[in-house]
Structure 1
């Protein structure tokens, strides 16, 4: 599969090689997880959203026309699903606003890794950014998406992407930005990768 483009793999899936969808999921799991976390900031909810987005994308593969890259197309589906989930969550919180809501604990995959305290501090700093800056920052600096890919995924102009990225860095710079590693934030380990892949493949598999 190494010499096949995403678009070629999609074409083969559409023609019946359903098992190849796993190749695409494993390729994009880290990217989608980080972007969903930038919106939702809850690792379990982000995982659920990824599964839904993958299933939706699979069901819509026939509509993929190649006008943008498969990565961009898939990312848009993930973003839409994440924003929809966030909207529903806000609506639910409004209904339950009189009931105390306990914040979730920092039980993320990061806690079992080296320097977990620092990583949680860094993750919180990124999570505390306003959403419009956090989204661009995660895509450009953490996921290392190109400016063009970020523009396409968020429907922003180039200047807006650059301005938001610059502003996000300014917000993080004091005491943080000089000594952190982007790859440490929102890591998606192999076990979580297997969970998402196996769930989606079970849902789409034709017996």
Structure 2
């Protein structure tokens, strides 16, 4: 089903259909949160907040940009505000990304396990991405890890398409070539199926209490 079809179902009262939206965009939002440097629990909270914001404002989606761009932009805004709040209270971001390697491995094929058995190398890869300045890191995440188009990335980050291309090129040059050859983009910041199911269940329980009819 297309996003707009699911949205119509939800707005017509079929709230359970919203689960399709959550499952479709869990991976996108998770990678956005991780690219900001938040730990797993913070990212889950941000995703929940984003899904609630989207749900409440679903009737305001005008379909001018893609729904993917719209929901990613809301996640970006929530990440930005949370980061600002952390900064005001002197709370450091813990973006080392070391806590979920084992759970990620437990649910992969033997072939994939063989490729990511070296947890240190995986941490080096993700740490390298975090060493890229945020403006470049976000473009890299949206374009390379989330597969968004230049136009979608431009709309989500509110920068020109030329800037998207320039920052993407620059961000790639910042990463070591040997790291790029070791892992595919899909393996970076993976949102494990276990966490996906948990988030959807928790989110749907919350959304059933929300009113979007007014």
After TM superposition, the score normalised by the length of structure 1 is 0.89
Mapped pair 1:139 → 2:142: yes
Give the counterpart of 1:60 among 49, 54, 57.
57
What's 2:191 paired with? 188
> Any conservation in 2 of the 1:109–1:188 contact (CA below 8 Å)?
no
What's 1:83 paired with? 80
CA–CA separation in structure 2 for the residues paired with 1:118 and 1:111: 14
Kindly state the Cα deviation for residue 174 of structure 1 after the two structures are TM-superposed.
Answer: 4.9
Moved over 4 A (4+): 101-106
> Any conservation in 1 of the 2:98–2:123 contact (CA below 8 Å)?
no
CA–CA separation in structure 2 for the residues paired with 1:59 and 1:106: 31
CA–CA separation in structure 2 for the residues paired with 1:162 and 1:110: 31
Mapped pair 1:172 → 2:175: yes
Give the counterpart of 2:153 among 124, 145, 150.
150
CA–CA separation in structure 2 for the residues paired with 1:106 and 1:134: 15
CA–CA separation in structure 2 for the residues paired with 1:74 and 1:56: 9
Mapped pair 1:108 → 2:99: yes
CA–CA separation in structure 2 for the residues paired with 1:106 and 1:80: 21
Kindly state the Cα deviation for residue 65 of structure 1 after the two structures are TM-superposed.
Answer: 1.1
User: Which ranges of structure 1 fall in alignment gaps of 5 or more residues?
Assistant: none
CA–CA separation in structure 1 for the residues paired with 2:74 and 2:160: 20
What's 1:40 paired with? 37
What's 2:68 paired with? 71
Any idea what the Cα deviations from partners look like across 1:9-32, whole Å, max 9, x if unmatched?
A: 101100100000000100000001
> Any conservation in 1 of the 2:38–2:95 contact (CA below 8 Å)?
no
Give the counterpart of 1:23 among 13, 20, 23.
20
After TM superposition, the score normalised by the length of structure 2 is 0.86
Kindly state the Cα deviation for residue 44 of structure 1 after the two structures are TM-superposed.
Answer: 1.4
Aligned residues: 198
Kindly state the Cα deviation for residue 199 of structure 1 after the two structures are TM-superposed.
Answer: 1.3
Q: Relative to 1, partners in 2 of residues 1:133 and 1:102: Cα closer, same or farther, differing over 3 Å?
A: closer
Q: Relative to 1, partners in 2 of residues 1:181 and 1:102: Cα closer, same or farther, differing over 3 Å?
A: closer
* Alignment RMSD: 2.0
